[in-house]
Amino acid sequence: REPLLQVSNLKRYYGGSSSWLRAGRTIKAVEDVSFFVRPGETFGVVGESGCGKTTTGRMIVGLDRPTAGSINFAGEELTTLSAEEWRIRRRKMQMIFQNPLSALDPRMTIRRQIREPLDLHDIGIPNERDAKVEELLDAVSLQPAMADRYPHQISGGQAQRAVIARALGLDPDLVVCDEPVSALDLSVQARVTALLQDLQERRGMAYVFISHDLRIVKKLSHRVAVMYLGQIVEVGDTDDVYRQPLHPYTRALIAAIPDMAPNHRSKRTTLQGDPPSPAAPPSGCHFHTRCHMARESCAREAPVLREIGGAHQVRCHFAEEFAS
């Protein structure tokens, strides 16, 4: 099927001579990122904090403007739109954030907050909108009585359901979910994750699912990208990437999860230290300072993202060594 979203050579740089950063410093938060998302599928984006995954999500929904590159949504280029045109298109693309309480206004009831985008976009008949709010609450398994509560009167899991209900009101084709369950208790996480899956099956929405949690991404995603210091280092069908990770970074991330990848875990795959600052990324392959496979050429020559069998792409000079 044709992609719903096609992101090409997306870049987001901060800094330069006029910025608050030290003169001449440029942070490449997102560096030449390309991927596509088909209608109704979940595209997972994983990586440690600071890898550029949230900035990528924010650019897709227009909350941050790219330095360069293209975002094509449903056949239309978004990067050249005016702010007003963006506002209209945004209806079909929603974003859900990690902390639901910060996404809700503490002074407004849940009813008002779910109704507000319906009013703003003039969706449905005005005197039927309260009924629509209750229908949306029902879709996320919240009691109608929740409508008259304020955010501080409900739990974190209920608040995230309310945020999802508000997004659903606009009938989006794509929802960017940025760590949507990370702030919730484990049992609540499972319920909200199941809700997202159920809504996708019933409504056919596509998700870009951003998370540092490889277990949840495996459960939800049809395809997955692994990001490191602003770049995609591996991308492919979720089954392929988890069964046979080909980038040393992906291998280390998966090996760190108990019971997930006993067949390729070894002491040599342990990830050491924190990622370097994006303000001063290592030369050549950005991962060479933490890579147990690094060779002398890795600090000099930057690898490109290339296909290693089918749709599986890897950014490593020596990825073939792990392919069977």
Residues interacting with ligand SF4, by CB under 6 A? 247-248, 285, 287-288, 291, 293-294, 298, 303, 316-318
* Least distance in angstroms from the C-beta of 153 to ligand SF4: 49
Nearer to ligand SF4 (CB atom), residue 52 or residue 248: 248
Nearer to ligand SF4 (CB atom), residue 58 or residue 251: 251
User: How many CA atoms lie less than 13 Å away from 237 in the CB half-sphere?
Assistant: 8
Report the C-alpha gap between 276 and 85 in whole angstroms: 38
Look up residue 192 and give its two tokens: 């909200």
* Least distance in angstroms from the C-beta of 8 to ligand SF4: 23
Report the C-alpha gap between 238 and 164 in whole angstroms: 25
* Least distance in angstroms from the C-beta of 98 to ligand SF4: 29
Nearer to ligand SF4 (CB atom), residue 81 or residue 299: 299
User: How many residues are recorded in the chain?
Assistant: 324
Nearer to ligand SF4 (CB atom), residue 192 or residue 246: 246
Nearer to ligand SF4 (CB atom), residue 114 or residue 241: 241
- Phi, psi torsion values for 26, nearest 5 degrees: -130, 130
* Least distance in angstroms from the C-beta of 57 to ligand SF4: 25
* Least distance in angstroms from the C-beta of 310 to ligand SF4: 20
* Least distance in angstroms from the C-beta of 293 to ligand SF4: 4
Long-range contacts (CB closer than 8 Å, 24 or more residues apart) made by 85-93: 86/62, 89/62, 90/61, 90/62, 91/117, 91/121, 91/170, 91/172, 92/170, 92/171, 92/172, 92/173, 92/174, 93/60, 93/61, 93/62, 93/172, 93/173, 93/174, 93/175, 93/176
Report the C-alpha gap between 195 and 197 in whole angstroms: 5
Nearer to ligand SF4 (CB atom), residue 90 or residue 315: 315
